[in-house]
Chain A
Amino acid sequence: MEGSHFAVSNPGAQGPRLQRARTRRSTGEQIIKGLLALAALLSVLTTTGIVVTLIKETITFFGDVPIGDFLFKTDWAPLAGGEQQAFGVVPLIWSTLYLTAVGLVVAIPAGLGVGIYLAEYASPRVRKILKPVVELLAGIPTIVFGYFALTFFTPNVIQDWIGIGVDVFNGLSAGIILGILVLPTIASVSEDAMSAVPQSLREGAFGLGAAKWQVVLRVVFPAALSGIVAALVLGASRAIGETVVILVAAGNNPNLTFDLTVAHQNMAAFIANTARADVSAGSIAYETIFAVGTTLFVMTLVLNLIAIRFVRKYRQVYE
Chain B
Amino acid sequence: MRSHRFITAAAICGALTFGVAACGDDEEETAGGGSTGQEQSASGGEDRSSLSGSIRIDGSSTVQPVTEAASELFGEEAPNVKITVGGAGTGDGFERFCRGEIVIADASRGIEADEYEACKAKGIDPVEVQVGIDGLTVVANKDLAIPNDCITTDQLKKLLAPKSKVSNYKELGEGFPDQDVSFFTPGTESGTYDYFTETVLETDAEQRTDKVQTSADDNQIVTGIEGTKGALGYVGFAYAEEQADKLKELAIDGGDGCVKPSVETIADGSYKPLSRPLFVYPSTKTVAQPEVKSFISFILENNKEIVEAAGYVPLTDELMSTAKSNLESATPVAAPTEEG
Cα distance A248–B224 in the bound complex, in angstroms = 11
Q: Mark A68-93, 1 if CB is under 8 A from B, else 0.
A: 00000000010111111000000000
Q: Mark B188-214, 1 if CB is under 8 A from A, else 0.
A: 111000000100000111111100011
Decide if B223 is an interface residue (CB 8 Å cutoff): yes
Q: Mark A21-61, 1 if CB is under 8 A from B, else 0.
A: 00011001001100100110010000000000000000000
Decide if B89 is an interface residue (CB 8 Å cutoff): yes
Q: How many residues of B contact A (CB 8 A)?
A: 40
Cα distance A274–B189 in the bound complex, in angstroms = 9
Decide if A1 is an interface residue (CB 8 Å cutoff): yes
Q: Do B188 and A82 touch across chains, with their CB atoms under 8 A apart? A: no
Cα distance A273–B188 in the bound complex, in angstroms = 11
Decide if B16 is an interface residue (CB 8 Å cutoff): yes
Decide if B335 is an interface residue (CB 8 Å cutoff): no
Partner of B227, one of A35, A79, A168, A278: A168
Q: Do A81 and B215 touch across chains, with their CB atoms under 8 A apart? A: no
Q: Do B189 and A82 touch across chains, with their CB atoms under 8 A apart? A: no
Query: Which chain B residue has the least Cβ–Cβ distance from A76?
Result: B209
Decide if A94 is an interface residue (CB 8 Å cutoff): no
Q: How many residues of A contact B (CB 8 A)?
A: 39
Q: Do A83 and B162 touch across chains, with their CB atoms under 8 A apart? A: yes
Using Cβ atoms and an 8 Å threshold, which residues of chain A touch B92?
278, 280
Q: How far is the CB of B313 from chain A (nearest CB, A)?
A: 24
Partner of B188, one of A32, A35, A38, A277: A277
User: CB within 8 Å of B: which of A79-113?
Assistant: 79-84
Query: Which chain B residue has the least Cβ–Cβ distance from A79?
Result: B188
Q: Do B9 and A252 touch across chains, with their CB atoms under 8 A apart? A: no
Cα distance A31–B61 in the bound complex, in angstroms = 49
Q: Do B215 and A252 touch across chains, with their CB atoms under 8 A apart? A: yes
A277 and B228 contact, Cβ closer than 8 Å, known pairs A39-B12, A80-B209: no
Using Cβ atoms and an 8 Å threshold, which residues of chain B touch A42?
16
Report how many A-B pairs have Cβ atoms within 8 Å. Answer: 100
Q: Mark B162-181, 1 if CB is under 8 A from A, else 0.
A: 11000000000000000000
Using Cβ atoms and an 8 Å threshold, which residues of chain A touch B204?
81-82
Decide if A114 is an interface residue (CB 8 Å cutoff): no
Q: Do B89 and A278 touch across chains, with their CB atoms under 8 A apart? A: yes
Partner of B213, one of A4, A263, A276: A263
A80 and B6 contact, Cβ closer than 8 Å, known pairs A38-B16, A155-B227: no
Partner of A79, one of B88, B187, B223: B187
Q: Mark A228-239, 1 if CB is under 8 A from B, else 0.
A: 000000000000
Q: Do B216 and A84 touch across chains, with their CB atoms under 8 A apart? A: no
A31 and B9 contact, Cβ closer than 8 Å, known pairs A84-B209, A169-B213, A276-B216: yes
Cα distance A278–B13 in the bound complex, in angstroms = 36
A280 and B188 contact, Cβ closer than 8 Å, known pairs A81-B204, A168-B223, A253-B213: no
Partner of B223, one of A31, A150, A253, A285: A150
Cα distance A80–B90 in the bound complex, in angstroms = 18
Q: Do A81 and B9 touch across chains, with their CB atoms under 8 A apart? A: no
A277 and B216 contact, Cβ closer than 8 Å, known pairs A150-B223, A168-B227: yes
Using Cβ atoms and an 8 Å threshold, which residues of chain A touch B122?
none
Q: Do A3 and B1 touch across chains, with their CB atoms under 8 A apart? A: yes
Decide if A184 is an interface residue (CB 8 Å cutoff): no
Partner of B190, one of A39, A278, A280, A285: A278
Q: Mark A247-261, 1 if CB is under 8 A from B, else 0.
A: 010011100000000
User: CB within 8 Å of A: which of B36-82?
Assistant: 61
Q: How far is the CB of A271 from chain B (nearest CB, A)?
A: 13
A39 and B205 contact, Cβ closer than 8 Å, known pairs A79-B188, A167-B228: no
Q: Do A35 and B213 touch across chains, with their CB atoms under 8 A apart? A: no
Q: How far is the CB of A52 from chain B (nearest CB, A)?
A: 17
Decide if A279 is an interface residue (CB 8 Å cutoff): yes
Query: Which chain A residue has the least Cβ–Cβ distance from B89?
Result: A278
Decide if B26 is an interface residue (CB 8 Å cutoff): no
Using Cβ atoms and an 8 Å threshold, which residues of chain B touch A35?
9, 12-13
Q: How far is the CB of A115 from chain B (nearest CB, A)?
A: 35
Using Cβ atoms and an 8 Å threshold, which residues of chain B touch A4?
1
Q: Do A84 and B9 touch across chains, with their CB atoms under 8 A apart? A: no
Q: How far is the CB of A38 from chain B (nearest CB, A)?
A: 7
Cα distance A1–B91 in the bound complex, in angstroms = 64
Partner of B187, one of A24, A84, A273: A273
Cα distance A82–B162 in the bound complex, in angstroms = 9
Q: Do B205 and A81 touch across chains, with their CB atoms under 8 A apart? A: yes
Cα distance A80–B213 in the bound complex, in angstroms = 12
Cα distance A2–B2 in the bound complex, in angstroms = 9
Q: Do B188 and A285 touch across chains, with their CB atoms under 8 A apart? A: yes
A28 and B188 contact, Cβ closer than 8 Å, known pairs A79-B214, A280-B95: no
Cα distance A1–B92 in the bound complex, in angstroms = 60
Partner of B91, one of A79, A276, A278: A278
Known: A3-B2, A81-B162, A82-B203. 16 other contacts (CB 8 A): A1-B1, A31-B9, A35-B12, A42-B16, A79-B188, A80-B188, A80-B206, A83-B162, A83-B206, A84-B162, A84-B208, A167-B228, A168-B228, A169-B224, A253-B213, A285-B188
The 4 closest A-B pairs by CB, nearest first: A278-B89, A168-B227, A277-B216, A81-B206
Task: Identify 15 residue pairs between A and B in the complex whose beta-carbon atoms are under 8 Å apart, listed by A's number.
Answer: A28-B2, A28-B6, A35-B13, A79-B188, A81-B197, A83-B206, A84-B163, A155-B227, A168-B224, A168-B228, A252-B214, A252-B215, A276-B217, A278-B88, A278-B92
